[in-house]
């Protein structure tokens, strides 16, 4: 393969990294995670019947945003401070779900340079074997081997660097998405508790 047997796991790492990057790019689109319809419903809420509509829409529109909203409109017997903590806990849980598969990029980022270094060490070992047989006078006999040995390090870094950039980008994007979902959930929570103070509970009715 031009770089010895270490090129095989490096190739596998590159394919896995590309697959994860493509999958997360599609799955972490804002329009896919934060549904505009749910944002609109939150803004137009005015009475308890609207809360019922939110609950119904969340049952239809599945996803992390729906899960946090359902957590917001449940257990409203808790104090506002307790509900804030509850929403934040829900946000952390959804963040873990959104970050799935990112561990693959993290592992690839760590092991790809090491695999490249291992390939270089193995290649250099073979070069020294050639030198011991033909001596230093025959430079062509081992110069090609040195180039082949270094190739694995180049490929390893070539896989690790884009993987690290993608991992950092996706991690930051997840944080921003969760913060935005919590922002809208807090808006909903404020409406629920401000109406409660006026004597008109907006909690969804229990069946």
pLDDT digits (tens, 9 = 90+) for 66-105: 999 988 888 777 788 888 898 999 999 999 989 988 999 9
In the chain, how many domains are there? 1
| 207 belongs to a structural domain | no
- Domain boundaries, position 21: 7-196
| 40 belongs to a structural domain | yes
3-state secondary structure of 61: coil
| 206 belongs to a structural domain | no
| 15 belongs to a structural domain | yes
Instruction: Quote the mean pLDDT of the chain.
Output: 83
| 202 belongs to a structural domain | no
101-124 pLDDT, tens digit per residue, is: 899 999 999 999 999 888 888 877
| 1 belongs to a structural domain | no
125-157 pLDDT, tens digit per residue, is: 766 666 666 665 556 656 666 777 788 889 999
| 58 belongs to a structural domain | yes
* pLDDT at residue 72, as a whole number: 86
| 2 belongs to a structural domain | no
Contact assessment for residue 202 and residue 191, using Cβ atoms and an 8 Å cutoff: yes
* pLDDT at residue 15, as a whole number: 96
41-57 pLDDT, tens digit per residue, is: 888 877 767 777 788 88
Q: What is the pTM of this model?
A: 0.79
Write the DSSP assignment of 69-116 as a string of letters.
HHHHHS-TTS-HHHHHHHHHHHHHHHHHHHTTTHHHHHHHHHHHHHHH
């Amino acid at each position: 393969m031009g770089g010895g047997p270490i090129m095989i796991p490096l190739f596998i790492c590159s394919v896995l990294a590309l697959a994860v990057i493509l999958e997360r790019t599609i799955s972490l689109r804002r329009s896919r995670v934060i549904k505009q319809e749910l944002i609109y419903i939150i803004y137009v809420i005015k009475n308890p019947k609207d809360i019922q509509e939110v609950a119904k829409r969340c049952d239809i529109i599945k996803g992390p945003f729906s899960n946090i909203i359902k957590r917001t409109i449940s257990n409203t017997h808790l104090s506002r401070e307790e509900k804030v903590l509850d929403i934040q806990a829900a946000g952390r849980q959804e963040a873990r779900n959104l970050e799935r598969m990112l561990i693959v990029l993290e592992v690839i980022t760590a092991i790809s340079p090491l695999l490249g270094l291992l390939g270089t060490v193995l290649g250099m070992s073979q070069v020294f074997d050639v030198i011991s047989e033909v001596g230093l006078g025959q430079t062509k006999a081992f110069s090609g081997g040195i180039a082949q040995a270094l190739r694995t390090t180049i490929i390893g870094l070539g896989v690790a660097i884009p993987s690290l950039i993608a991992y950092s980008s996706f991690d930051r994007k997840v944080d921003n998405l969760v913060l935005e979902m919590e922002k809208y959930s807090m808006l909903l929570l404020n409406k629920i508790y401000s109406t409660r103070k006026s004597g008109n509970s907006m909690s969804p009715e229990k069946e």
